[in-house]
Amino acid sequence: MSTELAEINNFIRSIPPFNELTDEKIVQLSQKITISYLRQDKKIHADTAILYFIRTGALTHVNEANELQGKYGEGDICSLFCCQNNEQNIPLVCAAEDCLLYAITCEQLTTVLIDYPKALEFILQRGSKRLKNKMVQVNEEAILSSSLMNTALSHFYKSPVACIKAYKSIQDAALKMTQQGYSCLLVIEKNTNENGQPIGIVTDKDIRQRCVAQGLSFNTEIREIMTHNMISIDCNNSAYDALIMMTSQHIHHLPVTKNGRLVGMITVTDLMNQEGLNAVNFASIIRKANSVAELSKISEMLPKLQIRMAKLGSTADHVGKTISAITMAFTIRLIKMAEDKLGQAPVVYAWLAAGSQARQEQFAHSDQDNALIIANDMLPEHEQWFNSFAHFVCDGLAACGFIYCPGNVMATNKKWRQPLSVWQHYFEQWVSVPEPKALMNASIFFDLNTIYGDTTLLQQVRNKMLATTKDNTLFLAHLSKNALQHKPPLGFFRDFVLTQNGNNEASLDLKHNGIAPIVDLARIYALAEGVNAVNTIERIKQVAGTPSLTQTSADSLIDAFEFLGLLRSSHQAKQLQAEKEPDNYLHPKEISRLEREHLKDAFKVIKTLQKARQVVY
């Protein structure tokens, strides 16, 4: 049985997850296939659980209301008939074109793929579960491919290590930790000096768990609560080895040795910070810049940082937070320069970021969205100062590559540079007399964050706002109506994006048809539940388990958000690298078949939750 069914074997091998199978398995599979021909407009009738491969032609899947659910073309697999335990839910699938179909029963598939549980899961699992697996894998890869792999531990550990004699009291230990800012101490015998071999380790967690929680007197000797038999790592290992050792042992502190002698200590935090080190460096050179021209020069590195992070496999959350933090550093530096130039502000104020920067989801080359809340004791003559101030900062941001907001949501716009009382009034209007159009323009202001100045100003606005939005059915209904206008597509058909109304489009708008709908949903949930958070993932996490969103849906929504973000981040990294203006338009040819499957799963999650929202209001 060598080349006999070669064409069929090659066809199957080209389709994920079958591309992971050995030749022998492929041969076993193809021998179990039955081939059938389905005329256009004929329905599939399957009386057992079956997986279909579309060899030629096209299939259409509709629901009971005859609404299009998906289309399948050559080289797609259709797993709709794989889980047929539910009698009422027999999928309605018919041929859109004459089809040549390869079929294998799930029973046989399970037998052949017994050693490939992952491939089997991929086929038989529900979309949301499949997406979850993908994201787990992505996050693991983000760790694996991080620079930790290539960095020696010797760059990280801190030396010398803080030690304490074993006979000292727990309180002594706590005092020493507090004074020196350590979260752990090595314990040494009474008569050894500071370089002697430690006999144990004690962490702040030990004090919490083994002393305070147990009601143990804090005069007890430290040796009573220390961990004996501590493990250590040689400094010739990579930073990654240390991370793995700590992760597998569930510890956060690891003594480092050199030639068997203790030389230092490494913590999980030290390692994790490495990844953010670039951002920290960035922020520190921004702080040292003395002119807008200097800042502008520094800002040219921002796209490079985004490319690097994307290449390292950082999650979009990580990239967004880093870029947002750097934008914040630019803004603060510009504010300081403005104050140097214009003199101190006449009254207290807060410089706000709105939209993606406020949500910490900003990417390089985003536009600037900002606003000013000024204290209520502002006088008319102060207006001139704030006007000049706003122009200085916004012009400076523009010079650093953050283009002016096309919708004029900027502090230079007098409408968005107002005293606290006016802002309170704005929100009152938006919430109590909601008009769809006005709300659509205002939705950006439901994602606000203080960048600089008096944080209580925004907090006052927000507290009052959240008190009125919570359980405000009419307001939430209007907001939902707006939000549901961005609909994710159904999936892909051949090399096109298949929209919900059955059209084929050349590219996928990742922002409007994927990311924005999730951002909108998260905002609605947060406002409905009175949640303070602004970051989308944070919002979803906080509303999980409330009447607005179940824990399971929350998990799926985060997976979908992260997957879409990842695609956007790598798509933009490619464009930035080619020195093109980054955009959100993803062509189906850019991504693998597997990624298309995951995208389809992500769309399904969004669609389900949008539908649930539609039902609520």
* Identity of the residue, 18 or 423, whose beta carbon is nearer to other proteins in the bound complex: 18
Contact between 107 and other proteins by CB under 8 A: the answer reads: no
- Min dist CB 38 to other proteins, Å, is 8
* Identity of the residue, 101 or 521, whose beta carbon is nearer to other proteins in the bound complex: 101
- Min dist CB 120 to other proteins, Å, is 20
* Identity of the residue, 42 or 118, whose beta carbon is nearer to other proteins in the bound complex: 42
Kindly tell me which residue out of 15, 16, 31, 484 binds other proteins, with binding defined by CB under 8 A: 31
Residues 6+ positions from 6 with CB-CB distance below 8 Å: none
Strands (E) across 30-125 are located at 34-38, 50-62, 68-72, 77-78, 92-105
- Min dist CB 544 to other proteins, Å, is 47
- Min dist CB 520 to other proteins, Å, is 43
Is 486 in contact with 513 (CB distance < 8 Å)?
Answer: yes
- Give dist(CA 599, CA 601) in Å, integer: 5
Quick one: which segment of 14-22, 52-60, 310-318, 470-478 binds other proteins (CB under 8 A)?
A: 52-60
**Quick one: DSSP state of residue 5?**
T
* Identity of the residue, 36 or 432, whose beta carbon is nearer to other proteins in the bound complex: 36
- Min dist CB 325 to other proteins, Å, is 53
Measured on CA atoms in the order 115, 107, 137, 302, is the torsion positive or negative? positive
Tell which positions 560-589 bind other proteins, by CB under 8 A. Answer: none
Contact between 3 and other proteins by CB under 8 A: the answer reads: yes
Give the angle subtended at the CA of 321 by the CAs of 315 and 323, to the nearest 5°.
Answer: 100
- Give dist(CA 599, CA 491) in Å, integer: 7
- Min dist CB 98 to other proteins, Å, is 6
* Identity of the residue, 98 or 241, whose beta carbon is nearer to other proteins in the bound complex: 98
* Identity of the residue, 11 or 525, whose beta carbon is nearer to other proteins in the bound complex: 11
* Identity of the residue, 26 or 554, whose beta carbon is nearer to other proteins in the bound complex: 26
The number of beta carbons lying within 10 Å of the beta carbon of residue 503 is 11
- Min dist CB 119 to other proteins, Å, is 20
Size of the site for other proteins (CB under 8 A): 24
In angstroms, what CA-CA distances link 356 with 1, 366, 469, 482?
Answer: 58, 8, 21, 18
* Identity of the residue, 5 or 216, whose beta carbon is nearer to other proteins in the bound complex: 5
**Quick one: DSSP state of residue 18?**
G
Question: Coil, helix or strand for 166?
Answer: coil
- Give dist(CA 586, CA 572) in Å, integer: 9
> 505 - beta bridge partners?
497
Give the angle subtended at the CA of 471 by the CAs of 468 and 476, to the nearest 5°.
Answer: 85
* Identity of the residue, 32 or 223, whose beta carbon is nearer to other proteins in the bound complex: 32
Question: Coil, helix or strand for 73?
Answer: coil
Contact between 97 and other proteins by CB under 8 A: the answer reads: yes
Kindly tell me which residue out of 16, 84, 98, 575 binds other proteins, with binding defined by CB under 8 A: 98
Tell which positions 54-93 bind other proteins, by CB under 8 A. Answer: 55-57
Measured on CA atoms in the order 413, 414, 415, 416, is the torsion positive or negative? positive
Quick one: which segment of 50-58, 130-138, 154-162, 347-355 binds other proteins (CB under 8 A)?
A: 50-58
Contact between 336 and other proteins by CB under 8 A: the answer reads: no
In angstroms, what CA-CA distances link 292 with 286, 297, 345, 367?
Answer: 10, 9, 20, 18
- Give dist(CA 482, CA 56) in Å, integer: 40
**Quick one: DSSP state of residue 515?**
I
Contact between 326 and other proteins by CB under 8 A: the answer reads: no
Kindly tell me which residue out of 33, 78, 106, 573 binds other proteins, with binding defined by CB under 8 A: 33
* Identity of the residue, 37 or 218, whose beta carbon is nearer to other proteins in the bound complex: 37
Q: Which stretches of the chain bind other proteins, using CB under 8 A? A: 3-8, 30-39, 42, 55-57, 97-98, 100, 103
